[in-house]
Structure 1
Amino acid sequence: MTNITPRAPQPPQPGVYTPVPTFFKKDLVTIDFETQIAHAKYLRDNGIKGLVLMGSTGEAAHLTRTERVSIIEAIHKNLPGFPILAGVAQNCLEEVLHEIDAVKEAGASYALVLSSSYYGPGIKQAAIEEFYTEVANQSSLPIMVYVYPGVTNNIVVEPETIVKLSRHPNIVGTKISHGDVAHHTMIAMSPVTKENNFYTFTGLGQILLPVLMVGGMGTVDALSGAFPKLYVRIFELFQAKQYEEAAKLQFIATRAEELVVRFGVVGIKKMISIKGFGETYLGRMPLNQDVDHSYWAQFKHNISEIVDAESVL
């Protein structure tokens, strides 16, 4: 048998990853490190493959670099060996590289990099490709292309661009945080990405099973921060080819994800608070305003459904 040298660096292992929120004390300024660590251990112990720290759910934009690094350091110190994917969202190439160096020193294993997006959809795909190529050429960590139009001025990194980028030895995967399964399919099923051992993850747990069916490797899903066992079980059932059972749990998860769609980061943290984590589910301003409780109550059945499903796993 011919020995094949594996591509290095390797992408994150297939599975479910959680983009964790930043927990604050009741003053909504002081970082609650105790809860941060306890929540991370809870996720690890319930089958989550790794964490995304300082992503959109983590309110990275509301923290200083020193604060971002301190959270990564705390998790890395208390959960040694647990994979950390660090969000990187700067617009300037040099700042992106400085951020990557900082999160690597703090203990991150991968950099999940948003496109430079200040100038919006007027930025051409060729410029996006050049940006990621330059980042990858100089980055001290393996890169994942983070596609999230909702926080990048509606920029979509097109499948053709991602397929081209997959050839770069330091670009190992992508997280796609929009619901176009066609884009997931064109990337995950591409012969080029397969040849280059490039992994596609969806950022939306509500389409986890459909994305797995078209070659995706898992999800980075915020609601898994409250219900890790349910999302892990969907992944396990898919691997076991028990598609009907996986679909039943996917239906429950997708209904519950409507709260994330409607209430955003504060809604995610409110759901996590059901498990007893944190002094408050509010964030730093302007995420310091509570949800509309009458509107929240309309989703009572969605919540009870996923709570019940998780409780028997």
Structure 2
Amino acid sequence: MSDFRGIWVALATPFRCGQVDFEALQGLVNKLLADGVRGLVVCGTTGEAAAMSEDEQLAVLDAVLQWAPSSQVIMGLSGNNLQDILAFQEQIQRRELAGLLVPAPYYIRPSQQGLEAFFKRVADASSVPLVLYDIPYRTGARIERDTLRRIVRHPNIAAVKDCGGDIETTLALIADGQVEVLTGEDIQILGHLALGGAGAISASANVHANLYVQLMQQMEHGELAAARASFRQLLPWIQIAFAEPNPAVVKAALSVQGFMANELREPMQVCGAMTLERLRPVLQGLVV
């Protein structure tokens, strides 16, 4: 089994004047790696991949691979046209990388049989490990527990990013031991690790990633009281980070910290003035 254990950051994509800001991207990547994260997930939801062309996504991936070891880079791969997905997958896999993050096809809401067939096709075509992204509130497709447990038996599927909202499914996946289970719900990180989860793919960890790494290390060392304290320190930030559609608040925080311009691709909007006013004292409360 591939080792995806740890804190992975769902990397925000900096923009300036409508274009990818590669200088800001390099600064953010260098900071996150210095903070000790397990790796980076490029062009996922937080990276606004849905608003980027395939050429832009590949350019961002190539840039990140210049600054980060390939073993620390996962690339997002999503869509609802299977042939287009497979063609883009082929382009991505010309590069060395740790894996691909793949959600169910969105909008079309396939049957359980259709979901199994979809993931089998993508996994069969994969030369790198897959991280299955279970997030029904974005895709509109709920993968039932038994279906999911069958899908992850594929030898090319190594992990699940768990945003399914069903604790019994989470527990079943952990108990089965077929794949590593990473939470994608940041507010559940402490509980997920306590249940035996392997880590997280976190959007809010773009900010003060060192504290998330500290939390992970404390749990691995059995330092539960210290881990609780770390989580309580992070909690106000995690709560406000998702007060508006992701990554609006994450980008606002990174802008306040000087890492990038506060710019998103439409139809996404920058966070409102009231959220920004609440955000500043929360960031000040995060002790590095």
TM-score category (smaller protein): over 0.9
Task: Say if 1:290 and 1:93 are closer, same or farther in 2 by CA, change over 3 A.
Answer: closer
How far apart, in 2, do the equivalents of 1:299 and 1:225 lie? Answer: 15
Is 2:15 the counterpart of 1:14?
no
Give 1:136's aligned residue.
123
How far apart, in 1, do the equivalents of 2:40 and 2:68 lie? Answer: 11
How far apart, in 2, do the equivalents of 1:125 and 1:56 lie? Answer: 23
How far apart, in 1, do the equivalents of 2:142 and 2:229 lie? Answer: 31
Is 2:238 the counterpart of 1:265?
no
Of residues 259, 262, 278, the one that matches 1:281 is: 262
Give 2:42's aligned residue.
53
Q: Which moved more, 1:293-302 or 1:125-134?
A: 293-302
Structure 1 letter corresponding to 2:215:
I
Is 2:272 the counterpart of 1:292?
yes
Segments of structure 1 that go 5 or more residues without pairing to the other structure are: 1-9
Is 2:73 the counterpart of 1:84?
yes
Query: What do the CA deviations read for 1:274-293 (whole angstroms, capped 9, x no partner)?
Result: 33201x12211112x33221
Runs of 4 or more, structure 1, over 4 Å off, are: none
Segments of structure 2 that go 5 or more residues without pairing to the other structure are: none
Tell whether the 8 Å contact from 2:186 to 2:200 is kept in structure 1 after alignment.
yes
What are the within-5 Å matches in structure 2 for residues 2-41 of structure 1? 10-25=1-16, 27=17, 29-41=18-30
Give 2:134's aligned residue.
147
SS in 2 for 1:16: strand
Q: Which moved more, 1:102-111 or 1:268-277?
A: 102-111
Deviation at 1:300, TM superposition (A): 5.1
Is 2:193 the counterpart of 1:215?
no
Give 1:188's aligned residue.
174
SS in 1 for 2:161: strand
Of residues 230, 248, 252, the one that matches 1:249 is: 230
Structure 2 letter corresponding to 1:169:
P
Give 2:159's aligned residue.
173
Query: What do the CA deviations read for 1:184-214 (whole angstroms, capped 9, x no partner)?
Result: 2221122xxx1x3x11000122111111122
Of residues 39, 53, 59, the one that matches 1:70 is: 59
Structure 2 letter corresponding to 1:147:
D
Give 1:156's aligned residue.
142
Query: What do the CA deviations read for 1:155-211 (whole angstroms, capped 9, x no partner)?
Result: 222332221122111111110125443332221122xxx1x3x11000122111111
Tell whether the 8 Å contact from 1:23 to 1:33 is kept in structure 2 after alignment.
yes
How far apart, in 1, do the equivalents of 2:123 and 2:66 lie? Answer: 27
Deviation at 1:45, TM superposition (A): 1.0
Tell whether the 8 Å contact from 1:109 to 1:142 is kept in structure 2 after alignment.
yes
How far apart, in 2, do the equivalents of 1:268 and 1:286 lie? Answer: 17
Figure out how many residues of one structure are paired with residues of the other and give that number: 287
Task: Say if 1:12 and 1:58 are closer, same or farther in 2 by CA, change over 3 A.
Answer: farther
Deviation at 1:17, TM superposition (A): 0.3
TM-score w.r.t. length of structure 1: 0.86
Deviation at 1:100, TM superposition (A): 1.6
TM-score w.r.t. length of structure 2: 0.93
Give 1:105's aligned residue.
94
How far apart, in 1, do the equivalents of 2:256 and 2:137 lie? Answer: 27
How far apart, in 2, do the equivalents of 1:74 and 1:295 lie? Answer: 32
Query: What do the CA deviations read for 1:255-282 (whole angstroms, capped 9, x no partner)?
Result: 321222212211111122233201x122
SS in 2 for 1:56: coil
Task: Say if 1:42 and 1:295 are closer, same or farther in 2 by CA, change over 3 A.
Answer: closer
